[in-house]
């Protein structure tokens, strides 16, 4: 069997995979592969390890004549045409579980940063504007008197809710299913928008959640609310968000993901009320190594003819 890996992983996958495959190719270009490169890379492979930046669509799959197992270095699978993969009989594995705490921690890093206006205050200091303690300088959120609204109460949403207890926040959540999470109340979407001081997104990107945060829903939120996105960029209509942030200077956004990654909507990075980081939610050393380990072990399991342990049901 032949294996391909679209980017260098945080473990030496060449060394680990080589004894198990006829050949292993790693296509590190210092950037995600484009569609043509992806099609070329996947062409003669039985097993392929891809990234969330690489849409595996019909066009790419039409070149993948031998492909039998696709391992994605991600939990999210919105970059994969699951229907086309199923039709072609390709097994899919992903990396759930290991990035829960890392992503919840980044969501909280953004919540705390925006809530206490750390980034704005740092800029102010850097610009030499600090002329002494002032009673109303950079007033921020009183966490213990505030409500956190979580959209999507899967593992990451629950980990974010758990941390909110340390800050004495009231927690409400919107989810299709009920989750018995200590101190968190399930509410309707409208109620969550109206009552939350902080809204943190932890739902997958689906046709139902694409642009869930559009102009209409953004305007239902408190004018002083903080919107956090460590899930997927297109859940927010980014152009509408930029407009909303411009019109409502007390509204804030903390973003780890963007609608058209790696592009960022025009004007977003210049806004003082938006704090943006480059998709680093799962970027703790342990989490990223575990994601690599899962991809590599799944590839080896497949090569040995064993059942996959992290198979995504198609």
Q: Structure tokens of 226?
A: 């903080």
Rank residues 9 and 187 by Cβ distance to ligand DGY and give the closer one.
Answer: 9
Rank residues 51 and 186 by Cβ distance to ligand DGY and give the closer one.
Answer: 51
Among 232, 244, 288, 301, the active-site one is 232
Please report, to the nearest 10 degrees, the dihedral formed by the alpha carbons of residues 237, 242, 246, 250 taken in order: 70
Name the minimum Å distance from CB 97 to ligand DGY. Answer: 11
Residue that is written with structure tokens 């899930």 in the block: 231
Integer Cα distance of 220 and 241 in angstroms: 13
Active site annotation includes 232:
yes
Query: Rule CB under 6 A: which residues touch ligand DGY?
Result: 52, 74-76, 99, 281-282
Name the minimum Å distance from CB 135 to ligand DGY. Answer: 40
Helix (H), strand (E) counts: the chain:
11, 12
Rank residues 229 and 273 by Cβ distance to ligand DGY and give the closer one.
Answer: 229
155-166 and 100-115 helices, crossing angle to 10°: 50
Name the minimum Å distance from CB 147 to ligand DGY. Answer: 26
Among 202, 244, 279, 288, the active-site one is 279
Name the minimum Å distance from CB 57 to ligand DGY. Answer: 18
Active site annotation includes 261:
yes
Rank residues 13 and 225 by Cβ distance to ligand DGY and give the closer one.
Answer: 13
Alpha helices in the chain (DSSP H): 13-17, 35-42, 58-61, 82-87, 100-115, 118-126, 155-166, 189-195, 215-218, 238-247, 285-303
The catalytic residue positions are 232, 261, 279
């Amino acid at each position: 069997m032949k294996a391909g890996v679209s980017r260098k992983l945080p473990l030496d996958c060449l060394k680990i995979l080589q004894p198990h495959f006829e050949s292993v190719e790693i296509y590190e270009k210092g950037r995600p592969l484009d569609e043509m490169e992806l099609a070329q890379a996947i062409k003669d492979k039985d097993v392929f390890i891809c990234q969330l930046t690489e849409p595996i669509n019909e066009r790419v799959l039409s070149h993948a004549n031998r492909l039998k197992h696709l391992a994605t270095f991600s939990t999210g699978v919105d970059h994969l045409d699951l229907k086309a993969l199923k039709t072609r009989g390709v097994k899919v594995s992903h990396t759930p579980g290991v990035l829960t705490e890392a992503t919840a921690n980044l969501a909280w890093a953004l919540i705390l940063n925006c809530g206490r206006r750390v980034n704005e205050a740092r800029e102010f200091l850097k610009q030499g504007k600090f002329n002494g303690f002032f009673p109303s300088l950079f007033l921020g959120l009183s966490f213990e008197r505030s409500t956190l609204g979580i959209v999507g109460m899967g593992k990451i949403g629950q980990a974010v809710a758990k941390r909110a207890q340390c800050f004495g926040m009231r927690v409400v959540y919107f989810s299709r299913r009920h989750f018995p999470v200590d101190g968190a109340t399930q509410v309707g979407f409208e109620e969550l928008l109206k009552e939350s001081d902080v809204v943190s997104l932890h739902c997958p990107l689906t046709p139902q959640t694409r642009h869930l945060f559009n102009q209409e829903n953004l305007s239902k939120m408190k004018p002083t609310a903080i919107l956090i996105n460590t899930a997927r960029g297109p859940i927010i209509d980014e152009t509408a968000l930029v407009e909303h942030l411009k019109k409502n200077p007390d509204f804030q956004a903390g973003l780890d993901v963007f609608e058209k990654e790696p592009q960022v909507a025009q004007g977003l990075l210049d806004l003082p009320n938006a704090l943006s980081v480059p998709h680093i939610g799962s970027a703790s050393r342990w989490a990223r190594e575990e994601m690599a380990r899962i991809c590599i072990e799944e590839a080896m399991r497949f090569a040995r003819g064993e059942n996959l342990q992290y198979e995504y049901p198609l």
